[in-house]
Amino acid sequence: MNNIIKKYIGKSSLLMAFALMTTGTAMTSCSDETLSNINTDKTKVGELDPNAQLTTALLQTYGDFSLMDTYRNYISGFPQYFAGGWNVTNYAGSNFREDDITRRVWDRYYEVSIKNLVDAIHNSADKANLNAALRIHRVYLTAVLADTYGDVPCLEAGLGYISGISTPKYDTVEELYSWFFEELDACEKQLGTGTDRISGDVTSMGGDVAKWKKYANALRMRYAMRISDVNPQKAKEEFEKAVAAGVIASAADDAYIRYADTPYTYYDGANDYDFRTNALGEILYGQDATSPTMVCSTLFYQLQNTNDPRLYRICRHYYNIKRSQVKPDKEQNIDLTDDFLAYFQSKNLGEEPCNPGATWYTDWMNPATVDDLPTLKKYAEIDENTYANSDYIARAGRPCLNIDFEMPSCPGDLMSYAEVEFLKAEAATKGWNVGGGDAESHYEAGVRASMELLNNYYLTSNKISKEEIDAFIANNPLGDNPKETINTQAWILHMMNPSEGWANMRRSDYPAILNRDLLTKNGFTYTDSNWSMPVRLQYPELEGQYNSANYKAAIDRMGGADDWHKRLWWDKADVNLQPDFNPPFGKGYSE
């Protein structure tokens, strides 16, 4: 009794202690119940709501800042979307593997989303629609894990509390893809059989079971195409079933996660499971003004050489010495794109985007001066020390990612109408039944939808006009190598879904990328004698301790080494390479 009084004296007031003393007899007679009540944290729930668990799992997909180091350092660098920043150069650009970075997607998805989804699925058998949505997202995340690492735990993952399984076996990629098709088919059929609402849905689908059905079928199309080189008959069968069942048919059906226009939270938010902000955009913006994301020369030249109207919607030149770190601001990310283009033209120079393995200060540019940049000169006339910094001017000379793609409220792409059209275009070239239309018409629809997607979800100004889209399509037909044409466009589309961009590049072997064997070493960490693009990430080192038998079995299936150059089951050939390594200088204006 005295201990109880001391507890409340320490936490509250003498009045509470007096009240406890006057009721001492009653408390003694029911002390077990009273102590149980006292020791129960009323701020914690005894059982999680499966809808809330769905919300957490969906938002974590792109909203977990701590796992985005893997995206910035490897997953967006290997497919040559971005280059020039220290992180992407030190890791992807140098083929330098560091366990603390490569393991983060694995650690965080299993720790948070997979565990929540498995638990919620177990506890939602009486909610048919919610249960199906939970299972569909489990498939989505497991596919990301499998496409990133290879054989991974799935069917036994997350069952520690439910079934006591603490060392889950690794399912093979082949087994997983068979399960994906079975699970998505079952979920599509289950949706609409219940009366429950999917209230935890924070995607563009808004709990609409008809849209979830289309989304599930579109995922089946994606995964069917993924296995088309290794099991073409199964791929054709699953693809055609998905199309027949009904798939995403317009931009109104696009499936993406909605994020909030809130301040960046960085690692503190991740530690608190605050996933409301699009953390991919957040990490691409960079944690300080010296680390913006620069567009890789591979992407830049692809856009430039085809007169793609997305070129300067994706690439911009910013002087950003005083930019906000709360979220991207238009005021101090001073846009000097027009000034730099005029400067380059006046000097008969081309753009100088960064090559893989090179930082922005490699192959040092002869930077413009403040006098060459009229917009910046106005700022420098007020504060020369801040706005005439030669390092920041030189950095601004490299094409960077438009901050419109780095806003906290940018969508987290799951599956778009544009991707569906590209998948149908390639399927049509294989002679599969795509429900009507030929490869050319689906390719054109995909290009149009992918450009309109930027207008709908990213660009805050200077949107791409119908006339620009029409001109690009007219000048860039499907051509003699439709697989290359289609998948190069799919690669551009997936810039803000780089895990899918990297996976589809490995599957299709397009676009042709820069030959990394010709890279110049620039003083970073080089531990890999094989400089070709890695085709998977290595397993977390701790797996060898905590799940050693299953880990070893997975390694043995790869030939005995955890090799990130070992292709996955569905990856049948090396990615194509460009015949020449891009020079540090791009297309000149004299051409």
Asked if residue 562 has pLDDT above 50, the reply is: yes
In which element (H, E) is residue 14 found? helix 14-22
Asked if residue 367 has pLDDT above 90, the reply is: no
**138-146: average pLDDT:** 98
Residue 254 lies in a domain: no
Place of tokens 């971005």: 82
Domain range for 323: 297-405
The DSSP symbol for 114 reads I
Residue 556 lies in a domain: no
Query: Any residues with CB less than 8 A from the CB of 454 and at least 6 apart, and which?
Result: 310, 313, 463, 464
Query: Any residues with CB less than 8 A from the CB of 76 and at least 6 apart, and which?
Result: 82, 88, 92, 284, 498
In this structure, what are the phi and psi dihedrals at residue 148, rounded to the nearest 5 degrees?
-90, -45
**530-541: average pLDDT:** 96
The span from the CA of 64 to the CA of 270, in Å, is 5
Q: Note the pLDDT tens digit of each residue in 197-253.
A: 999 999 999 999 999 999 999 999 999 999 999 999 999 999 999 999 999 999 999
- CB burial of residue 481 (10 Å; 0-12, 13-18, 19+): exposed
Residue 326 lies in a domain: yes
Residues in the chain: 591
The span from the CA of 350 to the CA of 343, in Å, is 10
Q: Percent of the chain having pLDDT more than 90? A: 84
Q: Give the pLDDT band (50/70/90) at residue 34.
A: low
| Closest C-alpha among 273, 357, 343, 316 to residue 581 | 357
Q: Which of residues 34 and 104 earns the better pLDDT score?
A: 104
Could you give the count of Cα atoms lying within 13 Å of 147 in the half-sphere of its Cβ? 23
The span from the CA of 295 to the CA of 85, in Å, is 9
**395-418: average pLDDT:** 97
Q: Note the pLDDT tens digit of each residue in 172-194.
A: 999 999 999 999 999 999 999 99
- Stated pTM of the model: 0.92
| Closest C-alpha among 176, 163, 165, 139 to residue 549 | 165
Q: What is the mean pLDDT of the chain?
A: 91
Q: Find out whether 376 and 317 touch, Cβ atoms under 8 Å.
A: no
Identify the pLDDT of residue 39: 56
In which element (H, E) is residue 500 found? helix 498-508
The span from the CA of 109 to the CA of 291, in Å, is 26
Asked if residue 387 has pLDDT above 80, the reply is: yes
Identify the pLDDT of residue 443: 98
- The residues with which 171 forms a beta bridge, in sequence order, are 152
Q: What is the DSSP string of 64-110?
A: -GGGHHHIIIIITTTTTSB-SSHHHHHTTTTT---HHHHTHHHHHII
Q: How many domains does the chain have?
A: 1
The span from the CA of 367 to the CA of 392, in Å, is 10
Q: Note the pLDDT tens digit of each residue in 281-321.
A: 999 999 889 889 999 999 999 999 999 999 999 999 999 99
In this structure, what are the phi and psi dihedrals at residue 46, rounded to the nearest 5 degrees?
-80, -25
Residue 21 lies in a domain: no
| Closest C-alpha among 210, 258, 247 to residue 457 | 258
Residue 391 lies in a domain: yes
Q: Give the pLDDT band (50/70/90) at residue 44.
A: low
Residue 366 lies in a domain: yes
How far is CA 558 from each of CA 301, 501, 591, rounded to the nearest angstrom? 36, 24, 49
Asked if residue 279 has pLDDT above 70, the reply is: yes
Residue 318 lies in a domain: yes
Q: Give the pLDDT band (50/70/90) at residue 364.
A: confident
**378-384: average pLDDT:** 97
Amino acid type, 108:
R
Amino acid type, 70:
T
Residue 332 lies in a domain: yes
| Closest C-alpha among 56, 238, 63, 64 to residue 138 | 56
**400-427: average pLDDT:** 98
